[in-house]
Amino acid sequence: MNGAEALLQTLIDNGVRVCFANPGTSEMHLVAALESYPSMRAVLCLFEGVATGAADGYGRMAGAPAATLLHLGPGLANGLANLHNARRAATPVLNIVGDHAASHQSLDSPLQSDIESAASTVSSWVGRPTEVDALGPAVVEAIEAGGVSTLIVPADVSWSDGAQAGGRATARTRPAAVPDLSHVLSSGEPVAFLLNGSALSEEGLAAADRIAQATKSKLFCPTWPARLRRGAGVPVVTPLSYRAETVADQLDGVKHLILVETGAPVTSFAYPGQDGRLTPAGAQVHQLGGGAAALKALAADLAPDVRARGAAPKHIDLPTGLLDADNWAYVLAALLPENSIVVDEAITSGLKVLPDAFAGAPAHDVLGLTGLAIGQGLPLAAGAAIACQQRPVVCLEADGSAMYTLSALWTHARERLDITTVILNNRSYAILRAELKRVGARAEGPGAASMIDLVGPHLDFVSLSEGMGVPATRAGTVEELAAQFKAATSTPGPHLIEAVLTGSQ
Amino acid sequence: MNGAEALLQTLIDNGVRVCFANPGTSEMHLVAALESYPSMRAVLCLFEGVATGAADGYGRMAGAPAATLLHLGPGLANGLANLHNARRAATPVLNIVGDHAASHQSLDSPLQSDIESAASTVSSWVGRPTEVDALGPAVVEAIEAGGVSTLIVPADVSWSDGAQAGGRATARTRPAAVPDLSHVLSSGEPVAFLLNGSALSEEGLAAADRIAQATKSKLFCPTWPARLRRGAGVPVVTPLSYRAETVADQLDGVKHLILVETGAPVTSFAYPGQDGRLTPAGAQVHQLGGGAAALKALAADLAPDVRARGAAPKHIDLPTGLLDADNWAYVLAALLPENSIVVDEAITSGLKVLPDAFAGAPAHDVLGLTGLAIGQGLPLAAGAAIACQQRPVVCLEADGSAMYTLSALWTHARERLDITTVILNNRSYAILRAELKRVGARAEGPGAASMIDLVGPHLDFVSLSEGMGVPATRAGTVEELAAQFKAATSTPGPHLIEAVLTGSQ
């Protein structure tokens, strides 16, 4: 077999069955090899940021990596922003970046660039086998590394014969050191947990909730976690606010902050004269390794007879009239299909309202914007839908963010994915309007406004969506959104609804 | 003044008057400062690849840099592919990348990443002033460096007071060593010039043509040069073919290859068993520094009485019937407005036919895909139109490439740019169909085809264009294309024509 075939065989041997691809000439042997490995599902993406974002969505839901197939340095570059989000989400992703054949790399041909430096900014592992018999083992090493791995494959390694598959990766289990926190939890001093990763699964939350009841602790999670189970029947965890002053209220009085699979909380941005650290002054910070398993052990110890409390289902009386910055979320929450995957790139439109609106909705998983690199939502939805083909996906997408990786819609259509995208169209980078004031910048005029308002012309998302084969409608009222969302989620395949929010220009 | 104001003042003092921007929170003081500097034209782009591609187009036409304004590492990452093209085009571009305030950088907040490593892959200069009084001088240094420069500006440097402008940059003129090639040119042995950069201006070509006549040399240029003057009245230079076997014919028998502002020719990709170097065996390679000026000196010496020959204007009888892979180019050439700027990202659709079709068209500048990172065309057109507001821009865009940076159309509309985009829609990555065979890959089945064909669903570029505010039409025949192109180029503002090429699926 040639290198390309050995690569695919090794991937399949390790359970990697999906490859989000935007190949070019240097990857043609890999494309050709797909013919021999029909169990590898190759999903064409029209832009590399779609491929990497989809791999992130797949990995978050499957708990195992998808591959990407990218074309040299510029192809990787186009995928970096969503790999940045994947890195922040701790998602396993295996990038395969084709490069020129070794003999060609010194010729400085047009696409030659420094792939390693670009890859290093997002990857926990970067490798470049230079001989065909090193390729299989390199694939195994990349998978074993976990997180975002980038395997650079020179074309001559792909096309050379004499390769063989690399075998099975060995799971690297590092038993987490679980510190003894009994003195903290029995101290009577106010305790808060900041939960992330596996702690935000249903079983992680159940254990945390039992501990919280027994020790009168509070439970928080990041503003936009990688994956959070939420809704009716699921124990409640409160997202930290995007705003430092609100976090100060949330954590007021906390003397012990216990971090589970996350770092100490910080603001997303710096503001003049403000500290970016959100840990309350005087609070001690503790790390609890081991995620959900550690929480379960702790719950067995501290709260053996306590039962987890699931959120009550909440009946929402649909509001009426024009859509505004808030009411859209209650419409969707009221009509959310059971066990949905909710991709949240609603940004400003979602910050205030989503946690409340969706708290009592049918139980669902929500996937957040971990790295704040916008343009994640539509690709993430594609990957999540492919990972969980029996589950409906609802993609909440801000207008500005949607424009980064809009061609993901074509992949939604081509792969016939069961995704309902709702564009929250406030016709601006609304978050920047707030931020302009918050950083203390002196700007009230048309120059600054022109950098924030997405007008002149308006974006017509119905037209854009239909241009890529996804049927679309526009909603200006609650009644329209409700009818359109019901229709979209009850009809297989992708749909898009442009929700025009009043107050927008 | 604060740092942001000093930055803008220094840019303006150095003639930088356009900034292609996609800002975020860390750049809000720069956005605010735009209010005080109305002579800086800030052009909002909905994706960073649009901003960097536009800066490339601006720089190629203006011969001076535009600035970009990008949001931290992920913002830069999204702009890298078109900066790769700019680097290959030797275009001056000044990237301004906002970063977190210094106090925030150690907190590992969501957007934190290694900006320098990403920037290093495309930049001739990367700098990060950490004190406010270092900002003005750093801007000057970035401009003096030439090429693609990347200035990383921490937010606290932007917002701190006590800054001052950095003054004027000093042009770095390196007098090129002009070797004595008289023995070569008088040897009687076959000589070919490979021209690039300033040698492809009208005066450079005129000098080269006089030398060619006097010495019976041949004149070639790269397949896709950064900027080439072409058409009626302009001396002719032949692009090297994209195909090595054709280049072998083009350079057959050449004993001396004289390189002007370029490296020795190589293939874009490696193919099994083929040498990527295109210099004929046995030919000597010579470097002629100094570009057009050196050619003029040489022409004065070798061909004092020879006059340059301009290409004859060519009357094209419009073909009739369905559009196909070739005839579209003759339609556009016949109807091309005088002194147009032609952006060529037609890829497969243009390779065979454009040089011939446009050779006798009204004189124009053509801007090529220097770095082969697709997604350049629509942004490049925006920047070129802003650099040359009195000149019509015609953007020839392949369907696959258009989808990379499609939101450039919104900037075309918002800035009311005089750009006629023609999408050459063959409904595939057609170049890959050829490349799959050329690399010797064994693939005839549906798996490989699904990575190459842009079908299921078709892309509807009329709908996509209208969704971003650019009026659009579709042409299936020569007659339709001719009528639509005439109408578009005679009506101010942006237009798009989707030319559906038969033989496409």
Summarised one tens digit per residue, pLDDT across range B219-241 is 999 999 999 999 999 999 999 99
Residue A505 has a pLDDT of 42
Which residues on chain A are in Cβ contact (under 8 Å) with B431? Answer: 25
Mean pLDDT of B123-148: 97
Q: Residue B448 belongs to what domain range?
A: 327-500
**Optimal mutation site among A20, A28, A123, A242, interface B, most CBs of chain B within 10 A:** A28
Contact A135, A164 (CB under 8 A): no
pLDDT in tens, B333-382: 999 999 999 999 999 888 889 999 999 999 999 999 999 999 999 999 99
Nearest CB to B42; choose among A42, A113, A451: A451
pLDDT in tens, A285-338: 999 989 999 999 999 999 999 999 999 999 999 989 999 999 999 999 999 999
Q: Is B253 left (phi over 0), alpha (psi -120 to 50) or beta?
A: left
Region of B188 (left: φ > 0; alpha: ψ -120 to 50; beta: rest) is left
Where are any strands of DSSP class E within A415-478?
419-425, 472-475
Written as six digits, the tokens of B45 are 């782009």
Q: How far apart are CA B120 and CA A114, in angstroms?
A: 9
Tokens 């693939």: give the residue.
B443
List the single best residue of B82, B113, B428 to mutate versus A (max A Cβ within 10 A): B113
Q: What percent of chain B has pLDDT over 90?
A: 88
Q: Are B398 and B432 in contact (CB under 8 A)?
A: no
What's the CATH code of the domain at A354?
Answer: 3.40.50.970
CA B405, CA A166: separation in Å to the nearest integer? 38
Q: Is A125 helix (H, G, I), strand (E, B) or coil?
A: strand
Whether B117 sits inside 8 A of A118 (CB atoms) is yes
Q: What is the pLDDT of residue A180?
A: 85
Distance (Å, whole) CA B24 – CA B20: 13
Query: What pLDDT digit, counting tens, does each position of B136-183 carry?
Result: 999 999 999 999 999 999 999 999 999 999 999 998 776 667 788 989
Q: Both A395 and A427 in a single domain?
A: yes
Cα–Cα distances in angstroms (integers) from residue B359 to residues A209, B221, B233, B314, in the given order: 75, 14, 10, 8
The reported pLDDT for the residue numbered B442 is 66
d(CA B83, CA A482): 44
* Residue A474: other Cβ atoms inside 10 A: 18
A390: in domain: yes
With a cut of 70, say whether residue B505 has pLDDT above it.
Answer: no
Model pLDDT for residues A218-253, shown as the tens digit of each residue: 999 999 999 999 999 999 999 999 999 999 999 999
- Same domain, residue pair A124 and A256: no
Q: Nearest C-alpha of chain B: how many angstroms from A112?
A: 8
| Residue B167 within a domain | no
Are A121 and B450 inside 8 Å of each other by CB?
no
| A275 and A378 assigned to the same domain | no
Helix boundaries (H) for A15-47? 28-33
Contacts of A452 in chain B (CB under 8 A): 31
**Confidence (pLDDT) at A442:** 66
Q: Contact at 8 Å (CB) between B295 and B264?
A: no
Pick the closest to residue A57 from A306, A405, A296 (CA basis): A405
Query: How confident is the model over A12-24, as pLDDT tens digits?
Result: 999 999 999 999 9
Report the gap between the CA of A473 and the closest CA in chain B (Å): 13
Q: Is the pLDDT of residue B264 over 80?
A: yes
List chain A residues with CB under 8 Å of B53.
none
The pLDDT of residue A75 is 98
* Residues B189, B154 share a domain: no
Question: Contact at 8 Å (CB) between A374 and A406?
Answer: no
More confident residue, B447 or B410: B410
Q: Interior CA angle at B249 toward B244 and B250, to 5°?
A: 90
CB pair distance less than 8 Å for B34 and A451: yes
CA-CA distance, B137 to B165, in Å (whole number)? 8
Confidence band (pLDDT; 50, 70, 90) for B185?
very high
Question: Would residue A466 count as lying in a domain?
Answer: yes
**Banded model confidence at residue B80, pLDDT cuts 50, 70, 90:** very high
Nearest-angstrom CA–CA distance, A314 and A318: 12
Contact (Cβ atoms closer than 8 angstroms) between residue A178 and residue A288? yes
CA distance A93 to A91: 6
The closest of B297, B283, B154, B134 to B220, measured between CA atoms, is B283
Residues A336 and A444 occupy one common structural domain: yes
Q: What is the C-alpha separation between B28 and B240, in angstroms, rounded?
A: 46
Rounded to whole angstroms, the Cα distance separating A448 from B51 reads 17
In this structure, the answer to whether residues A145 and A214 fall within a common structural domain is: no
Which token pair is B311? 């290409």
Query: How many CB pairs (< 8 A) connect A and B?
Result: 318
Coil, strand or helix at A134: helix
Q: In terms of Cα–Cα distance, which of B28, B48, B109 is closest to A371?
A: B109
Residue A280 belongs to a domain: yes
Q: Among residues A365, A232, A362, A240, which one has the least CA distance to residue A309? A: A232
Measured between alpha carbons, how far is A56 from A48 in angstroms, rounded to an integer?
A: 12
CB contact under 8 A, A269 and B469: no
| Whether residue B410 is found in the same domain as residue B473 | yes
φ, ψ of residue A43 to 5 degrees: the values are: -115, 115
Q: Which among B47, B77, B270 is the nearest to A101, CB-wise?
A: B270
Instruction: Find chain A residues with C-beta within 8 A of B109's C-beta.
Output: 266-269, 276
* Minimal Cβ distance to B269: which of A26, A269, A406: A26
Sign of the CA dihedral with B448 first, then B450, B451, and B452 last? positive
Q: Closest to B461 (Cβ–Cβ): which among A44, A443, A467?
A: A467
Residues of chain A with pLDDT under 50: 505
How many structural domains does chain A have? 3
Contact state of B372 with A159 under an 8 Å Cβ cutoff: no
Q: Which residue of B has its CA nearest to A89?
A: B110
Closest residue by Cα to residue A212 from B444, B417, A221: A221
pLDDT band, very low/low/confident/very high, at B257 (cuts 50, 70, 90): very high
Q: Which of A84, A403, A464 sits opposite B73 (nearest CB)?
A: A84
Closest partner residue to B439 (CB to CB) among A104, A159, A469 is: A159
Contacts of A23 in chain B (CB under 8 A): 432, 451
The answer to whether residue B419 sits within a structural domain is: yes
Whether residue B121 and residue A442 make contact (CB cut-off 8 A), yes or no, is no
User: Are A416 and A469 in contact, with CB atoms under 8 Å apart?
Assistant: no
Interior/surface letters A38-60, b for 16+ CB within 10 angstroms, e for the rest: eebebbbbbbbbbbbbbbbbbbb
Q: What is the three-class DSSP state of A20? A: strand
- Indicate the DSSP class of residue B187: S
Measure CB to CB from residue A460 to each of B406, B439, B467 and give the nearest one: B467
Same domain, B19 and B113: yes
- Chain B residue with the nearest C-alpha to that of A112: B371
In the three-class reduction of DSSP (H, G, I as helix; E, B as strand; rest coil), residue B407 is classed as: coil
Final residue of a structural domain among B159, B194, B229: B159
Residues in chain A within 8 Å Cβ distance of B462: 467
Nearest-by-CA chain B residue for A76: B81
CA distance linking residue B255 with residue B147, whole number of Å:
33
For residue B193, give the CATH number of its domain: 3.40.50.1220
Q: Which residues contact A119 (CB under 8 A, 6 or more apart)?
A: A76, A95, A97, A126, A150, A152
Measure the CA angle with vertex A483, ends A482 and A489; round to 5°.
Answer: 85
Residues A62 and A108 in one domain: yes
pLDDT at B443: 64
Question: A26 and B469: CB-CB below 8 Å?
Answer: no
- Residues A19, A82 within the same domain: yes
Sheet bearing B66-71, strands edge to edge: B41-44, B18-21, B66-71, B93-99, B148-154, B125-127
The torsion region of residue B81 among left (phi > 0), alpha (psi -120 to 50) and beta comes to alpha
Say if A139 falls within a structural domain. yes
User: Is residue B190 a part of any domain in this protein?
Assistant: yes
Question: How do the residues of chain A divide into helix, strand and coil, expressed in percent and rounded to 5?
Answer: 40, 20, 40
Q: Considering only CB atoms, which chain B residues are within 8 Å of A263?
A: 108
Query: B1, B18, B41, B47: best mutation site toward chain A, by most A Cβ within 10 Å?
Result: B47
Q: Which residue of B has its CA nearest to A27?
A: B436
Phi, psi of B313 (to 5 degrees): -60, 140
Beta strands at A419-425 and A364-367: parallel, antiparallel or unpaired: unpaired
Contacts of B46 in chain A (CB under 8 A): 400, 403-404, 454
Q: What are the structure tokens assigned to B16, written together?
A: 């930088």
Residues of chain A found within 8 Å of residue B111, distances taken between Cβ atoms: 268-269, 371-373
pLDDT of B94 over the 70 cut: yes
Summary mean pLDDT of chain B: 95
Tokens at residue B441, please?
Answer: 């890959």
Same domain, A482 and A372: yes
**Among candidate residues A159, A194, A219, the one where a domain is terminated:** A159
B23 closest CB neighbour out of A75, A277, A451: A451
Task: From A302, A336, A371, give the residue that closes a domain.
Answer: A302
Q: Which of A84, A270, A467 sits opposite B459 (nearest CB)?
A: A467
Helix then strand then coil, % of chain B, to nearest 5 = 40, 20, 40
Contact flag A159-B28 (C-beta cutoff 8 Å):
no
Instruction: Give the percent of chain B with pLDDT over 70.
Output: 98
Residue B206 exposed, middle or buried by CB count within 10 Å (0-12, 13-18, 19+): buried
Q: Is the pTM of this model over 0.90?
A: yes
The answer to whether residue B211 sits within a structural domain is yes
Q: Could you tell me if A223 and A349 lie in one domain?
A: no
Q: How many CA atoms lie within 13 A of B389 on its CB side?
A: 4
**CA distance readout (Å), A278 to A184, A249, A282, B30:** 20, 11, 12, 26
Length of chain A, in residues = 505
